[in-house]
């Protein structure tokens, strides 16, 4: 046995006063008169020196091939928090035997031994409860084993990328299979530093040299790396492996734990991928979880994780009452109630104008029967309440039946539309980790090619060879046949999760937004009451997600001929055809769709105009809509009241304003786009911006205050999916109750109307203070030549210069400085000084709505241009 190694001084971020050694009598290890010494980091003595009594201990266990240095940020942050008066948590971070600076035993140690080793260490240290076990990589398994074995001491479990089981019997990840293969094992792990260097290279961004060297320090020579080899050799990758029974024991024990849990996850980990996070959540469904999209295997190096962990310790420990179970909230009228009520109606329920071979109509009777049969078939197949089902199906009767079937049996519908693009869809699918995927050939092909998770079900018949190639195990026809008896399980409760909808991704990676059944039904009720939608209304939707609400309203719905992933493909004639076919009186279009509908109005004939003349309610939403755009569309539907609701994926309906309301607001001196008053029981407050552009003001309804918009409503989302920290940010410093910080900036006027002036991320911070972009943009857009404008800031915050970027009616041939005469007009129209005026042939927009200007992209381009860089295009 080799004794503990010498810990060098000067390692970045590590206070040498926290470094300690402890002799521990470990069975089967002690040689001669000596016992192995463990190296560990410990804040306990420092807290004692300060006279601080800790409320508990975090026992941190590293994985392979790191050492306790991995936890240095937590040790520092915990001491800083204690110094600031927060409840103090002692942090004990061990170097496992054969690893870091602890003794080398000269023999392979198995998982059961490592769990026993940790027990011996904590007993020798006289570590008493409450203890929170924390682990990463295979240290997560060891820490979990300790947690399972010490229920009386255990206060919580926190894990960074790790695994306690191989989900669905899948093999261990390919990188580990390669490392454990025959002669490669020793060569890659101990003879050379290949395994160590490969692990260090997984950091995002790359580790600075000094930090990487600190990780390398205990493993300079081959005989110091035997522990790395032993850890890899002990990975229980098959059932007969000696450590497999212990892994199964730990996995079962973790599922039985009833203590607060936290999972902080790097999404770019090639080893512990999202399927392992999904497995842990199945075992710890109550866990706080945050999935860092940009982080990888070394999540503790990639992101600020120590602060969030201390927040979890402060907020969650001791707050759960394990003995109490929340009551299940019943639903008076679930989302499918109106569909059930019309189950014997032979009238049209859903019209698909773009179906292959021509328009397709499905009756209420057929839709209700298909929903029941698909629901019963899915349940027979094994889909259970809480299972996630990703639907990769074009809008139409099939998608509608699938949505209501999944909801009826308590499955959680995952809806990520094609507008996110391949990369965004992949991120969404991997983040949501659906258990099942139901798709058409195009969607299933993408799922197969891009490695999306889930058991595959084909929505359409496929050739057997194609089924095999796409990994399809069932078809929807087979599923419906399984459900012919229409025997359904009990209905889900109102507070059960119902759907995960994804944000547009226009202000960062698309986020999954979780809705419960009660929240979806509340949205239905608010919309139905506000817009007076009933059984005889009829609904034409040029924004695909809203087509799914037709059966919930009990009214027929139709999606017109268009590419649903590109709303701007919708034409005026297609809208007229859809209205005529469904005898609809309500039309819902996205802003991008409105632009093309107005542009193609010249193609309408007298019959088309007569059909549109029967529409009594017209809505456009998805982005703030100006008076001119809304008026142009309303002119095609002269009998309709034109509405432009304001909302977001997190709360699909917040406020509403009619065209007449917009015209009345036009005489007001307010900057921004007036989006009206709160709808139904909804509420709006504003948190004022400070001089640095941060929303720090006490939320209030005071008029004329520029700040971030906060909203509350019965149909507000439940939470973000696996983004606990994002949830906290959206709810920070809010009044009592469930409020959401929208990220939009604006103000309320004296009449209670909300005016939107841009996004918080797009606020300029000039020498004169915070400046929201929309007000100046509106002034610039009054110049005849300007079609759209974006006001962005260049330079350091606090002294940013204001730049106007224009898209003109006569498109510029190339991007760059605006012609001098146009620039002069724009400067004269602007209410703020402009450092520069630039033109682009076309504004960059978000991929879903094709209407929200990407100001962040424009700002980066403008800065490059004005600093003498390549002009190019934004």
Q: Which architecture, in CATH terms, is 764-866?
A: 2-Layer Sandwich (3.30)
Delimiting residues of CATH 3.40.50.12780 domain(s) in the chain: 337-559
Farthest CA pair distance, the chain? 103
Residues in the chain, how many? Answer: 874
**Pairwise CA distance, residues 794 & 714, whole Å:** 40
The pLDDT of residue 323 is 39
Handedness of CA 757, 763, 769, 775 (dihedral sign): negative
Q: Cβ–Cβ contacts within 10 Å for residue 841, how many?
A: 13
Percent of the chain predicted with pLDDT > 90: 76
SS3 750: coil
Range(s) of the chain covered by CATH 3.30.300.30: 764-866
Q: Is the pLDDT of residue 194 over 70?
A: yes
> What's the rounded Cα separation, in Å, for the pair 59 and 193?
28
pLDDT score, position 117 = 96
| pLDDT recorded at residue 503 | 87
Which pLDDT value is given to residue 812?
A: 92
pLDDT of res. 818: 95
Q: What is the mean pLDDT of residues 825-830?
A: 96
- Nearest-angstrom CA–CA distance, 517 and 496: 6
Report angle CA 493, 498, 503 to the nearest 5 degrees: 150
Positions of CATH 2.30.38.10 in the chain: 658-760
3-state secondary structure of 95: coil
The CA–CA distances, whole Å, from 819 to 233, 863, 871 equal 69, 19, 15
pLDDT in tens, 313-362: 999 985 544 434 455 666 779 999 999 999 999 999 998 887 777 788 99
Burial environment of residue 352 by CB neighbours within 10 A (0 to 12, 13 to 18, 19 or more): buried
Q: What is the pLDDT of residue 3?
A: 60
Q: What is the pLDDT of residues 862-873, one digit of tens each?
A: 999 998 888 888
Rounded to 10°, the helix 397-408/364-381 angle is 50
Query: Among 241-255, 723-737, 747-761, which is the least confidently predicted range?
Result: 723-737
Q: State which H helix or E strand residue 816 sits in.
A: strand 816-817
Model pLDDT for residues 440-475, shown as the tens digit of each residue: 999 999 999 988 999 999 999 999 999 999 999 999
CA–CA separation, 413 vs 404, rounded Å? 9
What CATH superfamily is the domain 16-316?
Alpha/Beta hydrolase fold, catalytic domain (3.40.50.1820)
Find out whether 117 and 26 touch, Cβ atoms under 8 Å: yes
Q: What is the pLDDT of residue 4?
A: 57
Phi-psi region of 9 (alpha: psi -120 to 50; beta: other; left: phi over 0): beta
Average pLDDT along the chain: 91
Q: What's the pLDDT score for residue 486?
A: 93
CA 252 to chain centre: 29
pLDDT digits (tens, 9 = 90+) for 569-590: 899 999 999 999 889 999 998 8
The 3-state secondary structure of 114-154 reads HHHHHHHHHHHHCCCCCEEEEECCHHHHHHHHHHHHCCCCE
> What is residue 285's predicted lDDT score, i.e. its pLDDT?
94
Q: What is the pLDDT of residue 321?
A: 43
pLDDT of residue 793: 96
* CATH classification number, 658-760, choose in 3.40.50.1220, 3.50.50.60, 2.30.38.10, 3.40.50.880: 2.30.38.10
Task: Give the least confident one: 38-42, 112-116, 630-634, 792-796.
Answer: 630-634
Cα gap 165→708, rounded to integer Å? 44
The token pair at 767 is 């020498």
Q: How far is CA 354 from CA 363, 475, 562, in A?
A: 17, 22, 7
Q: Give the residue carrying structure tokens 């929201």.
A: 772
How many angstroms separate the CA atoms of 480 and 462, rounded? 16
Q: Please name the CATH architecture into which domain 337-559 falls.
A: 3-Layer(aba) Sandwich (3.40)
Query: CB of 334 within 8 A of CB of 521?
Result: yes
DSSP code at position 320:
-
Q: How sure is the predictor about 175, in pLDDT bands with cuts at 50, 70 and 90?
A: low
Query: What pLDDT is attached to residue 704?
Result: 96
Q: Is 70 exceeded by the pLDDT of residue 734?
A: yes
Looking at residue 733, its pLDDT comes to 86
Range of lowest pLDDT (208-222, 476-490, 834-848) = 834-848
* CA separation for the pair 772, 368 (Å, rounded): 49
Among residues of the chain, what percentage have pLDDT more than 70? 93
Residue 758 makes CB contacts below 8 A (sequence gap 6+) with 672, 744, 745, 746, 772, 773, 774, 855
Is residue 533 within 8 Å of 554, Cβ to Cβ? no
- Are 856 and 627 spatial neighbours (Cβ–Cβ below 8 Å)? no
User: Each residue of 769-815: pLDDT tens digit?
Assistant: 999 999 999 999 999 999 999 999 999 999 999 999 999 999 999 99
pLDDT confidence of residue 873: 82
| pLDDT over 70 at 506, yes or no | no
Residue 719, SS3? Answer: strand
Q: What CA–CA distance (Å, rounded) separates 612 from 639?
A: 9
CA–CA distance, 332 with 330 (Å, rounded to integer): 7
Q: What integer is the mean pLDDT of 511-532?
A: 95
In the chain, which residues fall in CATH 3.40.50.1820?
Answer: 16-316
> Which pLDDT score is estimated for 111?
96
Contacts of 227 (CB under 8 A, 6+ apart): 64, 65, 96, 97, 98, 99, 104, 109
**CA proximity to 2, closest of 24, 22, 29:** 29
List the single range of 115-124, 388-397, 680-689 with lowest mean pLDDT: 388-397
Of 709, 684, 290, the residue nearest 511 (C-alpha): 290
């Amino acid at each position: 046995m080799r004794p503990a190694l010498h810990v060098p001084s000067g390692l970045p971020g590590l206070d040498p006063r926290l470094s300690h050694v402890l002799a521990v009598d470990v069975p089967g290890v002690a040689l001669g008169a000596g016992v192995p010494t463990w190296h560990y980091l410990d804040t306990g003595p420092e807290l004692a020196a300060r006279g601080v009594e800790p409320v508990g201990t975090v026992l941190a266990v590293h994985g392979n091939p790191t050492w306790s240095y991995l936890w240095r940020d937590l040790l520092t942050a915990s001491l800083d928090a204690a110094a600031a008066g927060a409840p103090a948590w002692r942090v004990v971070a061990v170097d496992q035997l054969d690893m870091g600076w602890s003794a080398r035993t000269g023999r392979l140690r198995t998982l059961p031994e490592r769990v026993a080793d940790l027990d011996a260490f904590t007993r020798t240290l006289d570590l008493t409860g409450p203890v929170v076990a924390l682990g990463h990589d295979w240290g997560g398994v060891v820490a979990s084993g300790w947690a399972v074995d010490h229920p009386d001491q255990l206060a919580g479990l926190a894990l960074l990328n790790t695994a306690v089981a191989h989900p669905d019997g899948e093999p261990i990840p390919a990188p580990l299979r390669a490392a454990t293969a025959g002669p490669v094992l020793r060569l890659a792990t101990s003879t050379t530093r290949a395994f160590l260097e490969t692990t260090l290279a997984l950091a995002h961004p790359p580790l600075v040299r000094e930090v990487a060297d600190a990780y390398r320090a205990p493993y300079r020579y081959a005989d110091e790396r035997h522990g790395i080899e032993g850890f890899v050799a002990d990975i229980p990758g098959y059932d007969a492996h000696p450590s497999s029974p212990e892994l199964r024991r730990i996995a079962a024990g973790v599922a039985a734990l009833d203590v607060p849990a936290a999972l902080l996850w790097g999404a770019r980990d090639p080893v512990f991928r999202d399927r392992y996070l999904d497995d842990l959540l199945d075992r710890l469904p109550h866990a706080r979880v945050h999935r860092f999209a940009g982080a990888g295997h070394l999540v503790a190096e990639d992101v600020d994780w120590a602060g969030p962990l201390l927040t979890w310790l402060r907020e969650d420990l001791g707050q759960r009452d394990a003995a109490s179970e929340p009551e299940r909230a019943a639903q008076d009228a679930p989302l499918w109630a109106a569909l059930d009520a019309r189950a014997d109606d032979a009238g049209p329920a859903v019209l698909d104008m773009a179906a292959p071979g021509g328009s397709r109509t499905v009756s209420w009777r057929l839709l209700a029967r298909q929903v029941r049969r698909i629901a019963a078939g899915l349940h027979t197949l094994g889909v259970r309440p809480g299972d996630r089902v990703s639907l990769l199906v074009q809008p139409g009767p099939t998608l509608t039946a699938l949505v209501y079937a999944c909801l009826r049996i308590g499955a959680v519908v995952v809806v990520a539309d094609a507008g996110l693009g391949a990369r965004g869809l992949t991120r969404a699918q991997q983040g949501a980790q659906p258990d099942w995927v139901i798709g058409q050939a195009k969607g299933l092909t993408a799922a197969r090619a891009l490695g999306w998770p889930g058991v595959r079900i084909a929505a359409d018949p496929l050739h057997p060879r194609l089924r095999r190639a796409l990994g399809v195990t069932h078809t929807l026809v087979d599923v419906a046949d399984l459900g012919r008896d229409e025997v359904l399980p009990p209905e889900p409760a109102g507070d059960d999760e119902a759907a995960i909808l994804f944000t547009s991704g226009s202000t960062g990676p698309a986020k999954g937004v979780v809705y419960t059944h009660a929240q979806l039904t509340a949205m239905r009720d608010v919309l139905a009451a506000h817009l007076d939608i009933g059984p005889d209304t009829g609904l034409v939707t040029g924004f695909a997600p809203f087509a799914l609400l037709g059966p919930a309203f009990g009214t027929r719905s139709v999606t017109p001929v268009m590419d649903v992933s590109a709303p701007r493909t919708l034409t005026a004639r297609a809208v007229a055809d859809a209205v005529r076919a469904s005898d609809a009186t309500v039309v819902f279009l996205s802003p991008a769709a409105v632009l093309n509908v107005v542009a193609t109005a010249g193609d309408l004939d007298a019959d088309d105009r007569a059909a549109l003349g029967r529409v009594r309610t017209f809505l456009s939403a998805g982005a703030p809509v100006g008076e001119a755009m809304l008026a142009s569309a309303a002119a095609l539907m002269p009998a309709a009241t034109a509405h432009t609701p304001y909302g977001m994926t997190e709360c699909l309906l917040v406020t509403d304003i009619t065209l007449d309301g917009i015209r009345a607001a036009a005489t007001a001196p307010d900057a921004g786009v007036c989006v009206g008053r709160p709808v139904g029981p909804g509420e709006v407050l504003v948190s004022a911006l400070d001089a640095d552009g941060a929303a720090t003001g006490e939320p209030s309804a005071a008029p004329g205050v520029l700040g971030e918009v906060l909203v509350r409503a019965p149909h507000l989302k439940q939470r973000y999916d696996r983004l606990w920290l994002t949830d906290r940010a959206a709810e920070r410093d809010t009044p009592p109750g469930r409020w959401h910080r929208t990220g939009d900036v604006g103000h309320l006027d004296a009449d209670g109307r909300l005016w939107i002036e841009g996004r918080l991320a797009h606020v300029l911070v000039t020498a004169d203070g915070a400046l929201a972009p929309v007000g100046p943009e509106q002034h610039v857009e009054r110049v005849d030549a300007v079609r759209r404008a974006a006001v962005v800031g260049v330079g350091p915050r606090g002294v940013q210069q204001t730049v106007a970027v224009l898209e003109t009616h006569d498109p510029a041939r190339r991007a760059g400085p605006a012609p001098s005469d146009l620039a002069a007009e724009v400067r004269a129209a602007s209410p703020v000084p402009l450092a520069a005026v630039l033109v682009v042939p076309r504004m960059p927009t978000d991929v879903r709505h094709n209407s929200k200007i990407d100001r962040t992209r424009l700002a980066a381009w403008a800065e490059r241009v004005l600093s003498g860089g390549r002009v190019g295009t934004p």
